[in-house]
Amino acid sequence: MNGFIVVETMYLSLNHIPILKNINLSLDRHQFVSVVGPNGSGKTTLGKAITGIIKHNQGHIYLNDKNISLLSLAEIGRTIGYLFQNPEKQIFAPKVIEELSFALKYKKVDQKIIEEKTIEMLHLFDLYHLKDATTFFLSQGEKQRLAIASVLLNEPEYLILDEPTTGLDIKRRKELSQLIDKLKTKTGILSISHDKEFINRHSERIITMKDGCIIDDKKC
């Protein structure tokens, strides 16, 4: 099985309850893939397993031919950007500007470049007027925009987006879609979503899950 991300015969259980069963999957770097299915079907768990946030029990997951079991979360995070379904679980810095710039500072990027990229994202996601605001007091939509901006600013090679349109109004959804159109040319994306309009707008492939299994995988 070839691909940038490869999952081979993966099983995962939590508290001895099977969550993912016999998952075989290959994901390319230049394709937008949607994962759909009812609540509790294992979609979010699959995304977290691929990034190593949740450890699988059996099988193998490879990232660019490297077994993720041998990689740290930081090493995986430099390649895969993960957007949590709830942005409050992702945002940790006290100020908006600090949240955005953290990853680049950690990577020791030149300060001038950090400032340029941060300002670009602040304008793109209409957060500039909030750059010095306390993240705790942001609205749900503002937190979602900040979480997405923070993930994208790190320029990952692959993106996993869990319900990316949650908390976004029609205008913001349109802007996110326009951004994704640009990203798709150079970044692979796995989107977990119930937003049918968003799915139909972007998907080149749709994976359907039920009861922890992949029951359908088709190109669009």
pLDDT at site 214: 98
For the chain, what is the domain count?
1
Q: For 151-180, what is the mean pLDDT?
A: 90
Report the C-alpha gap between 88 and 140 in whole angstroms.
Answer: 9
Q: For 89-118, what is the mean pLDDT?
A: 91
pLDDT tens for residues 171-213?
888 888 988 898 888 899 999 999 999 999 999 999 999 999 9
pLDDT at site 167: 84
Q: For 108-112, what is the mean pLDDT?
A: 91
- Which residue pairs from 11-16 have beta carbons closer than 8 angstroms and sit at least 24 positions apart in sequence? 11/56, 11/57, 11/58, 11/59, 12/45, 12/49, 12/54, 12/55, 12/56, 12/57, 13/57, 14/45, 14/54
Is residue 115 situated within a structural domain?
no
- Going by C-beta distance under 8 Å and a sequence separation of 6 or more, which residues neighbour residue 59? 7, 8, 9, 10, 11, 23
- Residue 24 sits in a domain whose CATH number is 3.40.50.300
pLDDT surpassing 80 at residue 37: yes
Q: Domain range for residue 27? A: 1-79+183-220
Is residue 195 situated within a structural domain?
yes
Is residue 101 situated within a structural domain?
no
Residue 63: pLDDT band with limits 50, 70, 90:
very high
pLDDT at site 57: 95
Is residue 220 situated within a structural domain?
yes
Is residue 18 situated within a structural domain?
yes
pLDDT at site 168: 86
